[in-house]
């Protein structure tokens, strides 16, 4: 019974995180980790491949952050209009939520941001103009939402 070093391909409870090199019992590696494709042997070739993949992922993440900052800079200070039905007092029949703002941004500015980037304290329940902040990967912007 010996131990073997493996590179984890997924997060494994009580063993380690994805991408980490850990030492486990050879039986555990052969009977559990390898058949479930949760790990691969930590050979020098595999270590180099994992390192290259990590560098590529970091580069992609940096590029995504740059694109997000550019997109937010483009829409900062802009106004989007959302049509909603309301009564005579201006109270909406259905409140405007993050989903509605997300859809309006996608249609109006052709920008694809995750809904989690939209910071709305509470749903909008009356007609009017509201300031909504957007934040993604350190970039911030503020837009005005006109609910009519």
What is the structure's pLDDT at 137?
A: 80
The 10s digit of each residue's pLDDT in 48-100 is 998 888 888 887 777 777 888 888 889 999 999 999 999 999 999 999 999 99
For the chain, the residue count is 148
- Residue 9 clears pLDDT 90, i.e. is over it: yes
What's the CA gap between 25 and 89, in Å, rounded? 70
- Residue 1 clears pLDDT 70, i.e. is over it: no
What is the structure's pLDDT at 37?
A: 94
CB within 8 Å of 36: residues ≥ 6 apart = none
Q: In what order do the strands lie in the sheet with 118-119?
A: 79-82, 139-147, 128-136, 118-119
The 10s digit of each residue's pLDDT in 14-47 is 999 998 999 999 999 999 999 999 999 999 999 9
- All structural domains of the chain, each given as residue ranges with its CATH number in brackets, are 3-63 (3.40.5.10), 67-147 (3.10.430.100)
Name which of 45, 46, 42, 48 is nearest 23 in CA terms: 42
What is the structure's pLDDT at 64?
A: 77
Mean pLDDT of the chain: 91
- Residue 119 clears pLDDT 70, i.e. is over it: yes
The single-letter DSSP state of residue 27 is H
């Amino acid at each position: 019974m010996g131990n073997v070093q493996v590179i984890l391909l997924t997060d494994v409870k009580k063993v380690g995180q994805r991408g980490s090199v850990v030492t486990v019992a050879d039986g555990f590696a052969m009977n559990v980790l390898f058949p479930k494709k949760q790990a691969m042997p930590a050979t020098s070739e595999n270590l180099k491949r994992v390192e290259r993949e990590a560098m590529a992922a970091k580069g992609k993440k940096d590029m995504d952050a740059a694109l997000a900052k550019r997109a937010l800079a483009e829409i900062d200070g802009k106004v989007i209009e959302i049509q909603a039905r309301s009564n005579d007092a201006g109270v909406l029949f259905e409140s405007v939520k993050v989903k509605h703002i997300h859809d309006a941004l996608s249609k109006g500015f052709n920008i694809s941001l995750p809904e989690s980037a939209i910071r709305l304290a509470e749903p909008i329940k009356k007609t009017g103009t509201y300031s909504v902040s957007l934040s993604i990967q350190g970039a911030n912007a503020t837009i005005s939402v006109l609910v009519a």
